[in-house]
């Protein structure tokens, strides 16, 4: 008898739908911060824009290099493709999930440039979601690649050298 289908789908299909819903939810969320005044926005303007530029450059680098190093193994689903190999070089030698990290860094930049509490709330939910999705993906990768746990001990999940 076959195992019942898990809530997230056999290959994580539901997780991809949730990811896109979070992305569109983040985009459509209105900027809201009852604590920020026009004076605060103006005083922090150079810092806010600098943070946006830095986080978006980081996001672009993580996303581009992550996609480039995966090439023929890339899929929107968290379940690894049948012909996958464990990539541990390049950006994957610094962070295990650069594609998820890129989305989180891009969102962080938007939160800071707008000082938006509503977007911060969605970012926190997004971080928790990506943490769950990455953990599910890592279980599948461990089944496919027995060397994955050693790799996971050496390389951080989302934030290079931090987390």
The pLDDT assigned to 1 comes to 45
Confidence of residue 3 (pLDDT cuts 50, 70, 90): low
Report yes or no on 48 lying in a domain: no
How large is the average pLDDT for residues 150-161? 96
Q: Count structural domains, the chain.
A: 1
Structural domain of residue 92, as residue ranges? 56-72+87-163
Q: Is residue 158 part of a domain?
A: yes
pLDDT at 75: 86
Residue 156 maps to a domain: yes
Q: Give the C-alpha separation, 136 to 153, whole Å.
A: 16
In a domain, 33, yes or no: no
Q: Global pTM?
A: 0.91
Place of tokens 């950006």: 91
Directed axis angle between helix 117-144 and helix 98-114, to 10°?
170
- Sign of the CA dihedral 9, 15, 16, 20? positive
pLDDT tens for 39-86 read 888 899 999 999 999 999 999 999 999 999 888 888 889 999 988 899
Whether residue 157 is contained in a domain is answered as yes
Q: Is the pLDDT of residue 158 over 90?
A: yes
Q: How far is CA 162 from CA 49, 64, 97, 98, in A?
A: 24, 21, 13, 13
Q: What is the pLDDT of residue 72?
A: 82
- Packed helices 98-114 and 13-28: angle between N→C axes, nearest 10 degrees: 20
């Amino acid at each position: 008898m076959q195992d019942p289908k898990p809530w997230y789908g056999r290959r994580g299909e539901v997780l991809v739908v949730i990811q896109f819903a979070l992305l569109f939810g983040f985009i459509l969320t209105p900027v809201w911060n009852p604590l920020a005044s026009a004076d605060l926005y103006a005083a922090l303007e150079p810092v806010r824009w600098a943070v946006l530029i830095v986080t978006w450059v980081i996001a672009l680098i993580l996303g581009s290099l992550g996609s480039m190093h995966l090439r023929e193994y890339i899929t929107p689903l968290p379940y690894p493709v049948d012909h996958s190999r464990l990539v541990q070089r390049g950006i994957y030698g610094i962070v295990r999930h650069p594609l998820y990290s890129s989305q989180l860094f891009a969102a962080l930049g938007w939160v800071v440039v707008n000082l938006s509490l509503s977007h911060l709330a969605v970012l926190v939910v997004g971080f928790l979601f990506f943490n769950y999705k990455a953990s599910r993906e890592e279980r599948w990768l461990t089944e496919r690649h027995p060397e994955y746990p050693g790799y996971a001990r050496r390389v951080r999940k989302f934030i290079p050298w931090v987390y």
